[in-house]
């Protein structure tokens, strides 16, 4: 029996010392395998007298069970340790910085459109869209620009070859045709803004054949000039982030609005230095007016019941002013160095969720 106690201690020590699954398996074979130490003792039982055999048999069986249990327990311990080690090896450090070369930049045009949409979205405008390829009626005639109207010449229109339903198709020269589409396909009241691409045959430091506008349209029974002024003054101040930015409405002419106005903001120009804000000079930034009753009629809206205001602004021009970009052509040169300099980090994009307080 003393021998058995020594054997138990030996085996238990070996089980406890097994560092991995392979070492443990070896210990199991040494104890319980075909030629294992306990197995060998079991084999010796046959040559014993019955009393001794019974006693020894019970003791050996107990030892066998004990060792097997200890091996199972140790096995679980080793497996858990192996899983933990694997997890430790595979650990991802989420605090490591992103590789800088894979970080894109937001183009200033996208950024500026997002800012305009965020400001006007807060005021309750919804975004509407229309096609870049327009028919003559939506782009001109419905907007009170009939075929012989001089305003047609000012637009430097790209005409597409061929005709559709007897009409020439054009690349829209402004986003105003979406006013027409919106009024024709819905019921007033309307309160929409239309960001989008526009086209005119023109190319220099301040003109590009493709450029962007944001149109605005409000139509309701009680809409008046005060709403137009309040909305655009508020917009200019929010966009340029200047609470006291001077904003002036200067009488102008558009066929689709009556009366029409050009909106100017205060600025200073000293020795080639240009600054937006209080100053002795003015800078034109957008066109607007009360929707011409003829336009409402063209869309089947009764001008005796409804009236509205509309405005249109050039996105490139606003982006150049706000971010000090001197040449409009650089917007479309796809120069990565330029984009790195003037572009925005993705997280700077304003969001309408939670307002403008970013
Ligand atoms: N569509 C005009 C333009 O492109 C801008 C404008 C829109 C003016 C709406 C008044 C009202 O110049």
Task: Write the DSSP string, 271-294.
Answer: TTEEEESSSSEEEEEEEEEEEPHH
Residue 97: pLDDT band with limits 50, 70, 90: confident
pLDDT of residue 349: 63
Same domain, 174 and 290: yes
Overall number of domains in the chain: 2
**Which residue range forms the structural domain that includes residue 232?**
108-356
Same domain, 64 and 129: no
Mutate to test the pocket of ligand 1, among 196, 202, 228, 256 (most ligand atoms within 8 A of CB): 256
Residue 212: pLDDT band with limits 50, 70, 90: very high
How many whole angstroms separate alpha carbon 300 and alpha carbon 294? 10
- Asked if 316 and 331 touch (Cβ cutoff 8 Å), the reply is yes
How many whole angstroms separate alpha carbon 311 and alpha carbon 75? 77
Ligand 1 centroid from CA 347, angstroms: 32
pTM passes above 0.75: no
Q: Calculate mean pLDDT across residues 307-322.
A: 96
pLDDT of residue 2: 65
Same domain, 231 and 278: yes
End-of-domain residue from the set 32, 58, 89: 89
Q: In the predicted model, what is the mean pLDDT of the chain?
A: 91
- Asked if 67 and 15 touch (Cβ cutoff 8 Å), the reply is yes
Q: Which residue has the higher pLDDT, 215 or 166?
A: 215
**By mean pLDDT, which of 73-82, 209-218, 221-230 is the weakest?**
73-82
Q: Calculate mean pLDDT across residues 272-292.
A: 92
Same domain, 326 and 198: yes
Q: Calculate mean pLDDT across residues 201-216.
A: 92
Same domain, 71 and 135: no
Nearest residue by C-alpha to atom 5 in ligand 1:
312
Mutate to test the pocket of ligand 1, among 140, 177, 254, 255 (most ligand atoms within 8 A of CB): 254
Select, from the ranges 32-46, 154-168, 234-248, the one with the highest average predicted confidence (pLDDT): 234-248
Residue 95 within a domain: no
Tell me the pLDDT tens digit for each residue of 23-54. Answer: 999 999 998 889 988 898 888 888 888 888 88
Ligand 1 proximal residues by C-beta, below 6 Å: 174, 176, 215, 254, 257, 287-289, 310-312
Same domain, 247 and 325: yes
How many whole angstroms separate alpha carbon 290 and alpha carbon 308? 6
Ligand 1 centroid from CA 140, angstroms: 12
Same domain, 63 and 199: no
pLDDT of residue 164: 80
What CATH number corresponds to the domain at position 296? 3.30.930.10
End-of-domain residue from the set 31, 54, 89: 89
Residue 228 within a domain: yes
Same domain, 123 and 236: yes
φ, ψ at 300 (rounded to 5°): 75, 25
Q: Which residues are CB-contacts of 290 (< 8 A; sequence separation ≥ 6)?
A: 224, 225, 228, 257, 258, 259, 307, 308, 309, 310
Same domain, 312 and 256: yes
Q: Calculate mean pLDDT across residues 246-259.
A: 97
The helix/strand/coil state of 163 is: strand
């Amino acid at each position: 029996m003393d021998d058995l106690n020594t054997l138990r201690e030996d085996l238990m020590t070996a089980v406890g010392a097994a560092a991995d699954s392979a070492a443990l398996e070896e210990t199991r074979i040494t104890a319980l395998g075909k030629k294992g130490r306990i197995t060998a003792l079991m084999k010796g039982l046959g040559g014993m007298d019955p009393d001794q055999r019974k006693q020894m048999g019970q003791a050996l069986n107990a030892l066998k069970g004990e060792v097997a249990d200890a091996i199972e327990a140790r096995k679980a311990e080793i497996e858990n340790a192996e899983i933990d080690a694997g997890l430790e090896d595979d650990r991802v450090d989420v605090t490591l910085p992103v590789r800088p070369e894979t970080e894109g930049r937001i183009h200033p045009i996208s950024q500026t459109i997002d800012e305009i949409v965020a400001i006007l979205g807060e005021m309750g405008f919804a975004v509407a869209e229309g096609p870049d390829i327009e028919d003559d009626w939506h782009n001109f005639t419905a907007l009170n620009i009939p075929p012989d109207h001089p305003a047609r010449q000012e637009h430097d229109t790209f005409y597409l070859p061929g005709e559709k339903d007897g009409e020439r198709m054009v690349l829209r020269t402004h986003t105003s045709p979406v006013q027409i589409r919106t009024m024709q396909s819905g019921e007033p009241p309307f309160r929409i803004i239309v960001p989008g691409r526009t086209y005119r045959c023109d190319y220099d430091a301040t003109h590009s054949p493709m450029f962007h506008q944001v149109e605005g349209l409000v139509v309701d029974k009680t809409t008046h000039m005060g709403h137009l002024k309040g909305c655009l003054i508020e917009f200019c101040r929010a966009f340029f982030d200047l609470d006291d930015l001077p904003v002036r409405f200067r009488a102008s002419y558009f066929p689709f609005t009556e009366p029409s106005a050009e909106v100017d903001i205060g600025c200073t120009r000293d020795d080639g230095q240009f600054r937006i804000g209080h100053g002795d000079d003015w800078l034109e930034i957008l066109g607007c007016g009360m929707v011409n009753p003829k336009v409402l009629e063209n869309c089947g809206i009764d001008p005796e019941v409804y009236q509205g205001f509309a405005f249109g602004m050039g996105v490139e021009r606003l982006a150049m002013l706000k971010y000090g970009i001197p040449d409009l052509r650089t917007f479309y040169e796809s120069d990565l160095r330029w984009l790195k300099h003037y572009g925005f980090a993705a997280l700077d994009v304003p969001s309408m969720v939670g307002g403008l307080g970013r």
